């Protein structure tokens, strides 16, 4: 009698496995010490707790077969990627299109302050699930165009390989919502240092995991899932 067992998922030929890592916790925001800006985006360095999270990410992923490591133009991602890069002997490639959502007039750490104050515009942003409620912030279409362009470049360069992309909470949320057809903010709030996984084949993205935080659980605290 022929028997048909269940099997574990295997990526199809030509696909790219992309491990999306959210950067470690960045330094606190304050009105008298705003984050410096890089091309209009807030660019805080890692908090000491974020440095611990970066080390834990490196330990968690060092035994996987990883062909390349990507980060963005913002230093909290390159700082998070560094321990893993050292373990694997890989350089860190920069993919600028995967930088965080542009928050317009709320850059420099202001989003955190507005969120803490439950500002009416912040509440509207959450209700309508669109960033461009904030003056000057990116629309869904603009964000989607650049993020998908960045992912496509990585996929084209690494077919049949596994790579790591250390990115941002808003970007992870956007990718997973786009891939699954969920509401725009359905996957917002990934923890710092957490791991999400996708498989990309041409223009099809499959979500394999979201917010795996077991390796950084001891470092998390209230508010750890906030963006930026």
- Residue position matching structure tokens 């560094």: 82
Q: What is the DSSP letter of 61?
A: H
Copy the structure tokens of residue 37: 């800006």
- Is 195 within the bounds of a domain? yes
Copy the structure tokens of residue 10: 């295997």
What domain range is 64 assigned to? 57-101+138-213
- Count of domains observed in the chain: 2
Question: What is the CATH classification number for the domain harbouring 143?
Answer: 3.40.50.1240
- Is 73 within the bounds of a domain? yes
Q: Does 61 lie in the same domain as 160?
A: yes
Q: Does 110 lie in the same domain as 188?
A: no
- Is 46 within the bounds of a domain? no
- Is 152 within the bounds of a domain? yes
Residue 68's SS3 state is strand
Q: Look at phi and psi of residue 14 and say left if phi exceeds 0, alpha if psi is from -120 to 50, else beta.
A: left
- Is 31 within the bounds of a domain? no
Q: Does 192 lie in the same domain as 97?
A: yes
- Is 187 within the bounds of a domain? yes
Determine the Cα–Cα distance for residues 166 and 79; give it in Å rounded to an integer: 10
Q: pLDDT (tens digit, 9 = 90+) per residue, 14-24?
A: 999 999 999 99
Q: pLDDT (tens digit, 9 = 90+) per residue, 8-52?
A: 999 999 999 999 999 999 999 999 999 999 999 999 999 999 999
| Final residue belonging to a domain, choices 137, 160, 190 | 137
Confidence of residue 223 (pLDDT cuts 50, 70, 90): low
Cβ 100 vs Cβ 228: under 8 Å: yes
pTM: 0.96
Q: Does 205 lie in the same domain as 109?
A: no
| Final residue belonging to a domain, choices 116, 137, 158 | 137
Q: Name every residue whose Cβ is closer than 8 Å to that of residue 200 and which is 6 or more positions away in sequence.
A: 15, 16, 18, 151, 155, 206
């Amino acid at each position: 009698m022929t028997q048909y067992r269940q099997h574990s998922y295997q990526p199809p030929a030509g696909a790219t496995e992309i491990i999306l890592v959210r950067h470690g916790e960045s330094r606190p925001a304050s009105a008298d010490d705003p984050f410096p800006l890089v091309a209009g985006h807030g660019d805080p360095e890692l908090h000491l707790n974020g440095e611990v999270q970066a080390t834990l990410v490196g330990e968690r992923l060092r035994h996987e077969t990883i062909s390349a490591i990507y980060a963005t133009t913002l230093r909290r991602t390159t700082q998070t990627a560094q321990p893993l890069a050292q373990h694997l002997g890989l350089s860190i490639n920069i993919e600028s299109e995967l930088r965080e959502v542009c928050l317009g007039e709320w850059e420099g750490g202001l989003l955190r302050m507005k969120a803490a104050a439950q500002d009416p515009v912040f509440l509207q942003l959450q209700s309508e699930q669109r960033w461009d409620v904030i003056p000057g912030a990116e629309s869904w279409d603009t964000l989607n165009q650049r993020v998908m362009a960045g992912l496509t470049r990585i996929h084209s360069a690494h077919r049949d390989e596994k790579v790591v992309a250390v990115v941002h909470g808003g970007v992870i949320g956007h990718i997973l919502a786009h891939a699954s057809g969920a509401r725009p903010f359905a996957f917002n709030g990934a923890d710092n240092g957490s791991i999400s996984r996708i498989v990309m084949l041409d223009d099809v993205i499959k979500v394999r995991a979201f917010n795996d935080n077991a390796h950084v659980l001891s470092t998390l605290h209230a508010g750890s899932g906030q963006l930026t």
